Amino acid sequence: MKRILVVDDDPDTVSFLKILLQQQGYEVFSAQDGSEALALLQTQSVDLILTDVAMPNLNGYEVCQRIKNATDSRLLLTPVILMSGRTLDSDIRYAKSLGADDYLPKPLDVDDLLAAVQGKLLAAERLKSLFDCETNGTEVITLIINGKPVRIDYRQHRVWVEDQEVELTAREVFLLERLAQQPNRIISLVEMVKATHDLDTDSQEAGQLLRPLIRTLRRKLEFHLGKAPYIKNVRSRGYLLIAEILNSKCSTVH
């Protein structure tokens, strides 16, 4: 049974959503604001978060940002659907920049809500298994980037520079993994957003979703590797990773 966390400071909305989602076979938890939601997530694992934007203490944008920047493996790939009465393009763009998986206008359309929940749960399931190794062996690749060894474990989705682990979010790891599969070759925006978001879209939207990920990934790698253009932007085409493969251990690299 899939577990959903509903976060809203309006008790009537929470009650309505709990009944609706339980009727669809979901187990439902609730919180009245972002702070309560994050506290609950310390003890409960959920498969999806459905949160209002305008709330006291911690709003929905802040909840989304905390989830998408989490290092806790239970939270990394949890879809976050925002709900709001504000439907300005700027609000929706901001939600996307934070990594929100969907943005639903209030008052809620029941069919749209249920379709979004079902679709995001399915996408999260596919995303979690996207980079799993097809054998029981360990899938590890070591590259030389800017003169230093970088080790990527595709099964654990972890990255080390020399002997120091790099703290990355799930999507940052997936992005680096995709670039590392074909170093020194341009990976299209559409291919990369498929790897990071399991999303089929056009180049324009893919670019918007990828830019903040590329920016944070570069910053975190530079802390360990020093500044250098090893993730290179090829305008209107995609990105490439400047690296040399030292070795890899796995029967299949996806």
pLDDT of residue 8: 97
Q: What is the pLDDT of residues 42-72, one digit of tens each?
A: 888 899 999 999 999 899 999 999 998 876 6
**Mean pLDDT computed over 137-162:** 85
Which structural domains are found in the chain, ordered by start?
Answer: 3-129 (3.40.50.2300), 140-249 (1.10.10.10)
Sign of CA dihedral 152, 158, 164, 166: positive
pLDDT at 155 over 70: yes
Parallel, antiparallel or unpaired: strands 187-188 and 238-241: antiparallel
Q: Is the pTM of this model over 0.85?
A: no
Q: Which of 21-35, 130-144, 164-178, 186-200 is modeled with the greatest confidence? A: 21-35
pLDDT of residue 118: 95
Are 48 and 81 a contacting pair, CB within 8 Å? yes
Structure tokens that stand for 97 in this block: 């920049």
Give me the residues paired with residue 159 across strands: 152, 166
Of the pLDDT bands very low, low, confident and very high (cuts 50, 70, 90), residue 244 is: confident
Q: What is the pLDDT of residues 169-203, one digit of tens each?
A: 889 999 999 999 888 899 999 999 988 988 888 88
Residue 189: C-alpha distances to residues 25, 43, 124 (Å): 36, 37, 20
pLDDT of residue 247: 66
DSSP states along 181-235: HSTTSPEEHHHHHHHHH-----HHHHHHHHHHHHHHHHHHHHHHH-S---EEEET
pLDDT at 125 over 60: yes
**Mean pLDDT computed over 126-130:** 60
**Mean pLDDT computed over 13-20:** 97
Packing angle between helix 203-225 and helix 170-181, nearest 10 degrees?
A: 90
Structure tokens that stand for 157 in this block: 């989705």
Parallel, antiparallel or unpaired: strands 27-31 and 48-52: unpaired
Q: What is the pLDDT of residues 196-224, one digit of tens each?
A: 988 888 888 899 999 999 999 999 999 99
How long, in residues, is the chain?
254
Of the pLDDT bands very low, low, confident and very high (cuts 50, 70, 90), residue 248 is: low
